[in-house]
Amino acid sequence: MSAIRLLVLGAVRQHGRAHGYQVRNDLEYWGAHEWSNAKPGSIYHALKQMAKQGMLIAHEIAPSTVGGPPRTEYEITEKGTQEYLTLLRESLTSYDQKPDVLSAALGFVVDLGREEALELLEERVRGIEEWRTAVTEHYVPADGPGQLGHIGEIMNFWVHSADSGAEWTRGLIQRIKGGAYTFAGEGEPFVGVLSAGEENPYSTGETHPEDAE
């Protein structure tokens, strides 16, 4: 599973209603073009595809005031919201060595409750540990390590990555347990999108958390 659907659904959801270019800008604002496949083509494709599948509703809009071609605005449906939450939970839980999926999920983790987030992350740690056990048992059989030659370095690398991922996840769990961040149902949420007409992102060096949706 790629991260694009989660990112797009999450972006549309935070806006309530958004057109492709807006989503594209949000993802850039989050840096997603650096750590995921959030290119224009993928974003527009995902929007169309998910509209076809009933997760978004497409509204045709007259050519905008600022010029350019006619836009299509998208609104998330109940089915889309379900899909969003499913993807989010899966992405937090499952260890599939795809850093972009986890990154995307981190951006939305506060849409869940604090307790649920902690449970999912703890399941993630358990998953990594199980995976580690399975791999080391399967690939270092009777005749001991070293028989693999340099091929063993591949496994070594996986295992190192898994350990590092587990360690990081435990750190995050501690921070969340310690009260960090504002989760669902804990008051004014942190807003990470650009509202219509807001200035460019990091070029100003400042975020504007004052305009909730």
Partner DNA sequence: GACCTGGTAGTCAAGTTTGAGTACCAGGGA
Partner DNA sequence: TCCCTGGTACTCAAACTTGACTACCAGGTC
180, interface contact from DNA, a copy of itself, none, CB < 5-8 Å by kind: a copy of itself
Q: By CB under 8 A, tell whether 206 contacts a copy of itself.
A: yes
C-beta separation of 108 from 10 below 8 A: yes
Comparing CA positions, the residue from 70, 18, 66 lying closest to residue 46 is: 18
From candidates 1, 57, 106, 212, binder to a copy of itself by CB under 8 A: 106
- Dihedral of alpha carbons 34, 35, 39, 44, sign: negative
Q: Is the CB of 21 or the CB of 181 nearer to a copy of itself?
A: 181
Q: Is 70 in the site for a copy of itself (CB under 8 A)?
A: no
Cβ closer to a copy of itself: 70 or 209?
Answer: 209
**Residue 42 in the binding site for DNA (CB under 7 A):** yes
Select the residue interacting with a copy of itself from 64, 180, 200, 213 (CB under 8 A): 180
DSSP state of 151: G
DSSP per position, 66-125 = T-SS--EEEEE-HHHHHHHHHHHHHHHH---S-HHHHHHHHHHGGGS-HHHHHHHHHHHH
**How many positions of this chain bind DNA (CB under 7 A)?**
23
Pick the stretch among 15-23, 116-124, 131-139, 144-152 that binds DNA (CB under 7 A): 15-23
Q: Is residue 205 a contact residue for a copy of itself (CB under 8 A)?
A: yes
Question: What is the radius of gyration, based on Cα positions, of the chain?
Answer: 20
